Amino acid sequence: SLTFQLRPPILANAGLAAAIKWLAEELRENYGLNFELLDDNTPLPLRYEVRSSVFQAVREILLNVVKHSHCTLARIRLGSDAGRVQIEISDNGTGFDPAEVAQKKSRTGGFGLFNVRRKIEYLGGELLIETELGVGTLVVVAVPAEVA
Ligand code: ATP
Ligand code: MG
C-alpha cells in the first residue's frame, strides 16, 4: 500500500535537491521506482514555505507515477533560471485522458493534482501537465525564486 508516511528528514537542513533525491530513493526501495535524476546543479533559492510546498508537490507527482503510470522509467530534472526554480517529472507510462480524470474526480474525490495546482499557483508559480495515452506524462512545477 501507499499509505505509509514519507517524511523528509533533510528538507530543512540540506535543501530541496537533497530532499527530492531522498524521496526518489525511498520510492525505489519501497515500490521499485526506476528513475534517473538530472540535477543542473543550479541553486534552488526558495524560502522554507515554498520549498516545503514544492517538495509536497513533487511527492504527489511521484506517487502518481508509482500508483498510476506503470512506467519503466521516470526522469526527474532539477534546475533554475531567469528567476524561477523548475522541477520536471516525466514518465514513459500509460498517460491519461484529462477528460476521464475530471469525471473520475467527481466520483472518487481524488484531489491530488487539483490541490497541487492550487498551492503552486497560490505561490505565484505554474503547474504544467502534458500527457499522452500510451506515451507517458510530463509534469512541470515552476515557482519564482527567492529574491536576494
Ligand atoms: P489522490 O491523489 O487523491 O490519491 P489520484 O492520484 O487518483 O488520487 P490525482 O493525483 O489528482 O488523483 O490524479 C488524477 C488522475 O490522473 C489519477 O487517478 C490517474 O488516473 C491520472 N494520473 C495522474 N498522474 C498520472 C501518471 N503519471 N500516469 C498515469 N496517470 C496519471
Ligand atoms: Mg494522486
28-77 pLDDT, tens digit per residue, is 999 999 999 999 999 899 988 899 999 999 999 999 999 999 999 999 99
Segments in 32-97 forming alpha helices (H): 48-64
Cell readout for 140 is 512541470
Q: Residues with beta carbon inside 6 Å of ligand 1?
A: 64-65, 67-69, 91, 93-96, 101, 104, 110-114, 137
- Atom number, ligand 1, closest to the C-alpha of residue 63: 6
- Identify the nearest ligand to the CA of 117 by its number: 1
Q: Whole-model pTM?
A: 0.92
Segments in the chain forming alpha helices (H): 11-14, 16-31, 48-64, 98-108, 112-122
Q: Which residues contact 85 (CB under 8 A, 6 or more apart)?
A: 16, 44, 45, 46, 54, 79, 142, 143, 144, 145
Question: Each residue of 93-102: b (16+ CB within 10 Å) or e?
Answer: bbbbeeeeee
Question: ipTM value of the model?
Answer: 0.98
Q: Whose CA is nearest to atom 23 of ligand 1?
A: 64
Cell readout for 36 is 534517473
For residue 18, the CA-to-ligand 2 centroid distance in Å is: 23
